[in-house]
Chains A and B, each alone.
Chain A
Amino acid sequence: MTEQFTPSPLFTRVERARRRKPRVRDEFITLAHGSGGKAMRELVEGLFLEYLRNPLLEKLEDQAVFQVNSSLPRLAFTTDSYVVTPIFFPGGDIGELAVNGTINDLAMSGARPLYLSAGFILEEGFPVEDLKRILVSMRDAAHEAGVEIVTGDTKVVQKGSADKIFINTSGIGVIEHSVSLSASAARAGDKVIVSGTIGDHGTTILIARGDLELETDIGSDTAPLHLLVADMLSETARLGAPDAIRCMRDPTRGGVATTLNEIALSSEVCIQIHEDRIPVREEVKGACEILGLDPLYVANEGKLIALVSGEVAEAIVGRMRQNPYGHDACIIGEVKPEPQGIVTMVTGFGGSRIVDMLVGEQLPRIC
């Protein structure tokens, strides 16, 4: 299936169905609509985009990139809401997540993050002490990243109308390099880079919920990635290959598998990854095994995926490894021309399989 791919009628039939225009068939919103997989894509493309369509939104990138005036640099703008349970977990809390997450969405367009907003929805009865703790970590995270939280909003809702605290952050950044990164820019011959071990955040949260009684020392990987991105961009500039990075994404909800599927579909290419090159911590592997989950679909909060030209991939990885947040960076796969829109994996065992998008939430298997 690698070099010469001739699709069978079966394959063609299934692929046609898979790429049908997303439609929302459900009568009610379910948790699946928020899990970052196919159901969420249906909601976004089938509903939000239908009603709110415009050229910037249509790109469905994690941030909008625009220019106010042709003599000014381009700006990136993004927003994200944080509703994690528990709000404090090993390796971080909801406040740090809210700051870093928005910084990362900006960084993935190559932007330098500048200003953030923060909106709070608080449930009646929420302890002020906890709010203080969250604000301290937001302040520290913003400080570390060199951004400022310059505007905000607060609402308090009746007990039971929200789960403790929800935070929304928006951010604005400036793009100083002449890059134009897009999920539709990958082409055959490119390499797939991941900046470090995958699945740490999602596994930590599942364990921290405490219904599992697992004891591990895994912590969330929440981290700001804009300096890592800056290193990567300066490396490509040094190499005289400003267009070498085609696309960057932070694989949050839906994990690496979903992100790669989005890129494969947008770019009309096949992405092939190699199981034995994907860095996964032993503890994460073990916990996922017990839960019947696949780390490829588990959320990350401090990792990025980059698709870069094959010629400079090694050099970029070398540079990434000098940054603390890219210490375990490595090449996990490459882009092939066909079959288009598909992610495949060469298993550690020597076989191969498809890696599809997540359907709803990952539901643990029964045995």
Chain B
Amino acid sequence: MKFIDEYRQSDLARTLAGKIAEMTSRPLKLMEVCGGHTHTIFKYGIEDLLPPNIEMIHGPGCPVCVIPMGRTDDAITLAREPGVIFTTYGDAMRVPGSKMSLLDAKAAGADVRMVYSPLDALKIAKKTPDRHVIFFALGFETTSPSTAMTVLQAAKEGVENFGVFCNHITILPALKAMLDSPDLQLDGFVGPGHVSTIIGTRPYEFVPREYGKPLVVSGFEPLDILQSVYMIVKQVVEGRAEVENQYGRVVPRDGNQRALEALFEVFEPRDFFEWRGLGSIAHSGMKLRPKYAAYDAELKFSVPGLRVADPKACQCGEILKGVKKPWECKVFGTACTPETPIGSCMVSSEGACAAYYNFGRLSKVAERSAANARA
């Protein structure tokens, strides 16, 4: 039992929160880009500790939330192909497609299995040579290197009944889209931690250089996030805008060379990739290089590839951009709940809507803003 450290932590947290409050004189809007941070912020009730003039905007960094409905439909089509074992990360199972989710497809007879890593999917492929195993590859640079390495492994071992349905995306184009969005006036960014272990901190340098905003790469413990907020506020107060690294214990400036090489070897950028609610963003998605076409499920099977419009009620786009708050969506918590999600932000606990619903229906921040909205 860790009683002691946690008490100490909360003392430290209060001290940090106090310092942040002392420093801030004007209201600041900070965005945490990464869904993992959103999760931590809600799980530990960090917004309760922050002074009221600091507003956290929950950005587009939840890989499950930004998967467009059409791609989910494609995944379900693949999963229902005869002879296919469709493997996926757990929280992708509940994402609603236009008619059903993978979980529904499984209940209706498709062989959908949850795995913890693409290597597990490859293992299944080796064990069941008479079936075709497809891995639903999702996520940012956090997860794409392991997909790349699995493809390399499959190629090395000559496993032919394995394929990847690639939906990997990269964080930088999305960050740029946020910065270019006129309806969003942000004062700084809490930068993603896991992604940065792969890409390093250097690629973020355009944020202060071209947009004049501070960005602090942050770890995932609650204290990490508070400290990062402190570092951003300090930059603002001192009139600086730089990339700083709070997560130095894990994130090197130049990233992880081996992972980057694997990524480059296996993937190439798509011209465009659609993000749910954000629309099409140039060079933001990745696909397998022609050299690895034998492992590309999109080439081996035919997927409909239709663009499916989001349900009318859904305001996920505005939520992902931080323009609207979850409770401003008409269906939040009534028609759209974690058990009956209409939009994908309600699915993963990293999504802003689900985080508000699960952890924060009473959150002081939500209550206060709702009251302001009424006034």
Contact = CB atoms under 8 A, between A and B. Distances in A.
Interface in A38-79: 38-39
Given A10-B327, A348-B6, A360 B339 contact: yes
A344 B139 contact: no
Contacts of B115: 211
Nearest to A348: B6
A352 interface: yes
Interface in B10-48: 10, 13-14, 35-36, 39, 42-48
Contacts of A349: 6, 9-10, 13, 44-46, 49, 222
Interface string A343-367: 0100111111110100110011111
Given A8-B367, A11-B367, A30-B107, A367 B194 contact: yes
Interface stretch (A91-99, A142-150, A279-287): A279-287
A265 interface: no
Contacts of B358: 354, 356
A128 interface: no
Given A276-B7, A347-B45, A365 B348 contact: yes
Contacts of A342: 362
Contacts of B46: 349, 351
Main secondary structure of the interface of A (DSSP, over half): loop
B255 interface: no
A14 B340 CA distance: 13
Interface in B37-91: 39, 42-49, 63-64, 89-91
A132 interface: no
A21 interface: no
A282 B333 contact: no
A17 B337 contact: yes
Interface in A87-131: none
A87 B363 CA distance: 42
Given A350-B48, A352-B45, A366 B92 contact: yes
B240 interface: no
Contacts of B63: 366-367
A347 B89 contact: no
B242 to A, nearest CB: 26
B315 interface: no
Contacts of B364: 1
Contact of B142 (A15, A281, A367): A367
A284 to B, nearest CB: 11
Contacts of B10: 276, 348-350
Given A17-B334, A17-B337, A30-B107, A211 B120 contact: yes
Interface string A304-345: 000000000000000000000000000000000001001010
B228 interface: no
Contacts of B306: none
B177 interface: no
A276 B360 CA distance: 19
A363 B45 contact: no
A32 interface: yes
B374 interface: yes
B97 interface: no
Nearest to B347: A363
A366 B49 contact: no
Contacts of B7: 276, 348
A350 B363 CA distance: 13
Contact of B370 (A8, A29, A356): A8
A25 interface: yes
B9 A359 contact: no
B120 A276 contact: no
A37 B218 CA distance: 33
A363 B93 contact: yes
With a 10 A CB-CB cut-off, give which of A10, A17, A32, A212 has the most chain B CB atoms.
Answer: A10
Q: List 10 tightest A-B contacts by C-beta distance, closest first.
A: A351-B45, A363-B90, A14-B333, A351-B48, A348-B6, A28-B107, A364-B90, A353-B359, A349-B44, A30-B107
